[in-house]
Structure 1
């Protein structure tokens, strides 16, 4: 992959991006540019796994799916890889999940990548029409839940350790921040 990335001239097309195939790094496409990040830390992956486990039964009961680290096409040429998504019915053999199928998107804030999750991706997810955005702080598990209002998000709640997030949409679930931490 390294030779393909560094030997590339000009903006990346979606076809060129998808031709990279699976990589060790997380490679996202934003309007012709690749955004490459190293593999997540064990802490990050623990939070992601625990959150998926907490949402598994509620999503099944709602007829939905919870997935980790999948390509989400927000529009042609804009494909991030969120940490977790809740989707409606999808084709599990497609390379991308379409934004219109995503009910909730979640990012676990990495200290080295906080601005991307809090600003860039938040803007892109709202513009793509994804109704719910959940941000998780790695240090203490604090959960920030946002709901789309027009083309941006408004914070609905902040759930700190010792409190419980009561999700009512797109699924009914209770999430305790401290249960997400290693």
Structure 2
């Protein structure tokens, strides 16, 4: 009989109690952009064109608008607690959280704004799981970006200090204009420009 064939992929087996935030830096061969949610590894599916364009848009636009003392990063993990190290699509954070170019994560307490662009596979996490965790971690602002009939819609939430949860402060179509966490005025139609096709 021939030798048994080894599987092409070997998935990591979680330890009792699940993985920890530190494990993301030491586990070998993890796919890019692996997140830790409630001690479980979350692997990212191939992204849609809408997702890629929206993440690029908010990354570049916010970089051009943030005041001094703040920075913007895309797809960078944040430490919430030992069992949660999510990777928001875009974050705005205090620049004193940067300690070197080898850094792989930021404390959630330094983040002012987390932006998630919803994908078909991330709907429940972006609408339900992550906002609860971001609010509990003290992140004051959360934006959820969705594709509605080929156009971007942004749902804006602000953390309410008494309850500690997010409350909706606006739903924006075509144009996003807010004054917090700093003044932002964006043309959302630029995310999915209408292109003319040759006849």
Query: What TM-score do you get using the length of structure 1 for normalisation?
Result: 0.88
Coordinate RMSD, CA, aligned: 2.0
Query: What TM-score do you get using the length of structure 2 for normalisation?
Result: 0.81
Residues in 1 aligned to 2:120 and 2:46: alpha-carbon distance in whole angstroms:
13
1:62·1:171 contact (CA, 8 Å) conserved in 2? Answer: no
Consecutive unaligned residues of structure 1, counting only runs of 5 or more, are none
1:51·1:180 contact (CA, 8 Å) conserved in 2? Answer: no
- Of stretches 18-27 and 72-81 in structure 1, the one that deviates more from structure 2 is 18-27
- Note closer, same or farther for the CA distance 1:23–1:151 as it changes in structure 2 (3 Å cut): same
Structure number with larger C-alpha Rg: 2
How many residues end up aligned between the 2 structures?
178
1:28·1:35 contact (CA, 8 Å) conserved in 2? Answer: yes
Per-residue deviation, 1:47:
0.9
2:79·2:85 contact (CA, 8 Å) conserved in 1? Answer: yes
- Note closer, same or farther for the CA distance 1:177–1:75 as it changes in structure 2 (3 Å cut): same
Per the alignment, residue 110 of structure 1 pairs with: 119
The answer to whether residue 52 in structure 2 is matched with residue 45 in structure 1 is yes
Per-residue deviation, 1:21:
6.0
Residues in 1 aligned to 2:28 and 2:93: alpha-carbon distance in whole angstroms:
23
Match of 1:133, SS state, is: strand
Match of 2:22, SS state, is: helix
- Of stretches 86-95 and 21-30 in structure 1, the one that deviates more from structure 2 is 21-30
Q: After the TM superposition, which segments of 4 or more aligned residues of structure 1 sit over 3 Å from their partners? A: 7-10, 21-25
Residue by residue over 1:28-61, the C-alpha shift from the partner in whole angstroms, topping out at 9 and shown as x without a partner, is 11232112222322321111101112111211x3
Quick check: which one's helix share is greater? 1
2:136·2:164 contact (CA, 8 Å) conserved in 1? Answer: yes
Question: Which of the numbers 53, 57, 74 marks the counterpart of 1:68?
Answer: 74
Per the alignment, residue 77 of structure 1 pairs with: 83
- Note closer, same or farther for the CA distance 1:47–1:3 as it changes in structure 2 (3 Å cut): same
Q: Comparing both chains, which one has the higher relative contact order based on Cα–Cα distances under 8 Å and sequence gaps of 6 or more? A: 1
Match of 2:50, SS state, is: helix
